[in-house]
Amino acid sequence: MARTLRDAAPHELFEKVREALVRDHGARSAELLMADYASARLQPVTAQPYTAESVSAYNSPEGRAFGAQEPHVVAREGGVTAHLPVSVRGDRLGVLSVHYAAGAYEPEALGPLTDVADALAHEILVADRDTDFFLQARRAKRLTLAAEMQWQLLPGRSCSRPEYDLGAQLEPAYAIYGDCFDWSASADHLTLTVNNGMGEGIDAALLTSLAVSAMRNARRAGLGIADQAALADQALYGQYRGRTHLAVLLLRISLDTGEAEIVDAGSPRLWRLREGTVEQIELEAQLPLGMFEDTVYTCQRLRLLPGDRLFFLSDGVYDVLSPAGERYSLNALGRAVLNTRLLPPSQVPRALLEELAGHRGAGEATDDAMVLCLDWHGRPGEGPGEP
């Protein structure tokens, strides 16, 4: 199967999989559904570019496999369907549904089917460099140009390693402006950046693109997070001369010890859930990027303990007011964090944003909203240590 996929044209990947499932696995038919940009719907790739036949990413058999990231087999009169998550290193792309006639499905087939879904997921990521086929399938409606630029910056929407699991989401998914997140892992460290964009439309997207590219350039040159912030600060000031700026939170976490270096350059906020207690982590605020020339940034330190859950939020989340004028961060955020404590990080951002919409009421959102959730497990053998 892997060789067949490597030899296939990028836009024909799923057709090759479907042919192999029918020919070699006794399937009657198969369907591939891609998660939309809001992570709320699963869109069939067979109806391009916009489909009216999507299913819920929550309340459907396909959504159960997508949410739990486990195969879900449904037996009905006339046949059996195996729904398989299509994911790469924890990044949830969609679901492969394989349909069998009555009596044709054998439980032993689930392992090979899972291998097929995994192989397809890896090839889809590679194919996205050369075709719009799968990117189009993710769209429940057209993206704004600013949103198109922002989504192209993102590393993914979730990621899993033995030391951590993380997930993130932006809203409004089809019309975001400047909020953004980025991450990168090496053998020894996880680097996270979370920024709260300034402005609207293309101007906000261009500002964020310049800042993220500058921080990546510094990171890939081997610089620490204080120097990453400084280089991005110089790039923004050189372009805008202080007329606009970007708030950002940078972290570099040791995968061996859980020790984190942090640069707080603006308004993204950090909350922690530890042993049932929700608290905001107070950090020493420094100047946003691009406000003044040659700003010097310094690192603070924070120790993560196995079992910690961290939340990184933009002001479009924690500052949202209820109809009665209560900020989301005052009480509702703590309740939402506790209500979602049993969900994996890949599902938490979507759940928090839905709680946020309920807190806001009927009013329209006036700002981007970004949530990133990180579960810290630590490496095997890491002791509890001191906070």
Question: Could you give the CA distance from residue 156 to residue 92 in angstroms, rounded to a whole number?
Answer: 9
Query: What confidence score (pLDDT) does residue 105 get?
Result: 94
Of 381 and 233, the one with more pLDDT? 233
User: Position of tokens 């799968």?
Assistant: 134
Q: What is the mean pLDDT of the chain?
A: 92
- DSSP-derived letter for residue 349 is H
Question: Could you give the CA distance from residue 314 to residue 371 in angstroms, rounded to a whole number?
Answer: 7
Percent of the chain whose pLDDT exceeds 90:
84
Could you tell me the sign of the dihedral formed by the alpha carbons of 376, 125, 23, 64, in that order?
A: positive
Number of H helices, E strands in the chain: 11, 17
| Length, in residues, of the chain | 387
User: Position of tokens 């209560």?
Assistant: 326
Position 107: which residue type? P
Q: Is 362 exposed, middle or buried (0-12, 13-18, 19+ CB in 10 A)?
A: exposed
Q: Is pLDDT of 386 > 80?
A: no
Q: What is the DSSP string of 127-145?
A: HTTT-SHHHHHT-SSPPPH
E strands of 186-275, at which residues? 189-196, 247-254, 259-265, 269-274
Question: Could you give the CA distance from residue 93 to residue 266 in angstroms, rounded to a whole number?
Answer: 32
Percent of the chain whose pLDDT exceeds 70:
97
pLDDT confidence band for 51 (50 / 70 / 90): low
Position 275: which residue type? E
Q: Is pLDDT of 291 > 90?
A: yes
Q: Is 78 exposed, middle or buried (0-12, 13-18, 19+ CB in 10 A)?
A: exposed
Average pLDDT over residues 304-315: 96
For residue 314, the number of C-alpha atoms closer than 13 Å in the C-beta half-sphere is 29
Strands 55-56 and 164-171: unpaired
pLDDT confidence band for 334 (50 / 70 / 90): very high
Residue 96, token pair as written in the block = 């492969």
Please provide residue 141's backbone torsions phi and psi, each rounded to the nearest 5 degrees: -160, 180
Q: What is the DSSP string of 158-210?
A: EEEETTEEEEEEEESTTS--S-EEEEEE-SSEEEEEEEE--SSHHHHHHHHHH
Q: pLDDT tens digits for 188-241?
A: 999 999 998 888 889 999 999 999 999 999 999 999 999 999 999 999 999 999
Closest CA to 333 of 284, 385, 371: 371
Q: Is pLDDT of 94 > 70?
A: yes
Q: pLDDT tens digits for 145-187?
A: 999 999 999 999 999 999 999 999 999 999 988 899 999 999 9
